Amino acid sequence: MIAPGKDEPVRIETVVVPDPGPGEAVVRVQACGVCHTDLHYKQGGINDEFPFLLGHEAAGVVEAVGAGVTDVEPGDFVILNWRAVCGKCRACLRGRPWYCFDTHNAQQKMTLASTGQELSPALGIGAFAEKTLVAAGQCTKVDPRVAPEVAGLLGCGVMAGIGAAINTGNVGRGDSVAVIGCGGVGDAAIAGSQLAGAATIIAVDIDDRKLETARSMGATHTVNSRENDPVEAIRELTGGFGADVVIEAVGRPETYRQAFYARDLAGTVVLVGVPTPEMKLELPLLDVFGRGGSLKSSWYGDCLPSRDFPMLVDLHLQGRLDLGAFVTETIQLDEVEKAFERMHHGDVLRSVVVL
């Protein structure tokens, strides 16, 4: 599936996938979620470049591996992540692998069969396709009993949300947590907070449909921030203090501000929502200084795929984490354009292409 040009509908094309070179793997894709980042890329290109290969929330079976690959082998069921991390650099060793200095994707390029043009895959994956070429380190083997459409979601949005709570926010037993913005990422942060034993989980959104879903994900309280001041509501629900951890999953100045003021003194704010380059937020420095605590941003849920993917799949298989709740619908490859429409209208948590 390629994005041919700015705002043009996506299109199915024949793509040549090279045999895996050293350190690479070819994966037969079984499922791939439709994510906002695909939509952003479709609208603006990858670094303004078109055409490119779409799709990056994927799971499938390793078909072939290149020289020197030992961690996965043909037949393994794997979840793909955006780029292989080295595990050795300063960032990796300090437990923040997502800031690794030496991440990489596959070296070889996939090409358009009709013209031979090289195609960059979205986030180094390009998985709205029957198969794709990745760096072997982008493949994490997990228990094959998990449904592919569920597993694939861990490759991006759901991991970002769960990781924001358990890795970045360090939500602990008995904590109060507020999550602002309850799309797929916010709901995953709610599920992650529940998993971590939070006592109070307050979901904030402007859409009542989203608040209803948030409740089924584990929210104990909901606040419609069109009708109520969310900062006051969160304070009221936490004995007048504010939440121990506030997770922002929208990416707008007003919700960043709400997150900042809704946390308890010395609490933690975790920023997962991605703002646009022109967005700015002005805060009184005395509030920044006086409220203490920490402001953290969470890239990809600060996940270490080899640690987190198998753990979350196991929790799902044990019935302790309902990852299936994130799959609103499964669709065919030729329905991706429609799925973007539905996403745009806020109708779905995730549409997942099954192949």
Q: Which range of residues in 3-11, 123-131, 141-149, 269-277 is near ligand APR by CB under 6 A?
A: 269-277
Q: Which is nearer to ligand APR, 41 or 77 (CB)?
A: 41
Selected from 152, 184, 192, 242, the binder of ligand APR by CB under 6 A is 184
Decide: is 135 part of the binding site for Zn ion (CB under 5 A).
Answer: no
Selected from 66, 126, 192, 273, the binder of ligand APR by CB under 6 A is 273
The CA-based dihedral angle spanning residues 172, 176, 179, 180, taken in that order and rounded to the nearest 10 degrees: -140
CB 312 to ligand APR: min, Å:
17
Complete DSSP assignment for 160-227: HHHHIIIIIS---TT-EEEEE--SHHHHHHHHHHHHTT-SEEEEEES-HHHHHHHHHHT-SEEEETTT
Count of positions on this chain that bind ligand APR (CB under 6 A): 26
Amino acid at the residue 25: A
Window 30-49: contact mask with Zn ion (x via CB under 5 A): -----x-x------------
Q: Which is nearer to Zn ion, 1 or 234 (CB)?
A: 1
> For residues 212 and 202, is the Cβ–Cβ distance under 8 A?
no
Query: Which position's Cβ is nearest ligand APR?
Result: 183
Decide: is 87 part of the binding site for ligand APR (CB under 6 A).
Answer: no
Selected from 89, 295, 354, 355, the binder of Zn ion by CB under 5 A is 89
CB 181 to Zn ion: min, Å:
15
Span 192-251, contacts to ligand APR by CB under 6 A: 204-207, 210, 225, 249-251
Decide: is 169 part of the binding site for ligand APR (CB under 6 A).
Answer: no
Selected from 136, 151, 156, 250, the binder of Zn ion by CB under 5 A is 156
Q: Which residues of 141-170 are buried (b: 16+ CB within 10 A; e: fewer)?
A: bbeeebbbbbbbbbbbbbbbbbbbbbbbbe
> For residues 328 and 348, is the Cβ–Cβ distance under 8 A?
yes
Complete DSSP assignment for 22-84: TTEEEEEEEEEE--HHHHHHHHH-BTTB-SEE---EEEEEEEEE-TT--S--TT-EEEE-SSB
Selected from 17, 180, 219, 353, the binder of ligand APR by CB under 6 A is 180
Q: Measure the N-to-C terminal CA separation of the chain; round to a whole number of Å.
A: 12
Which chain residues interact with Zn ion by CB under 5 A? Answer: 35, 37, 86, 89, 92, 100, 102, 156
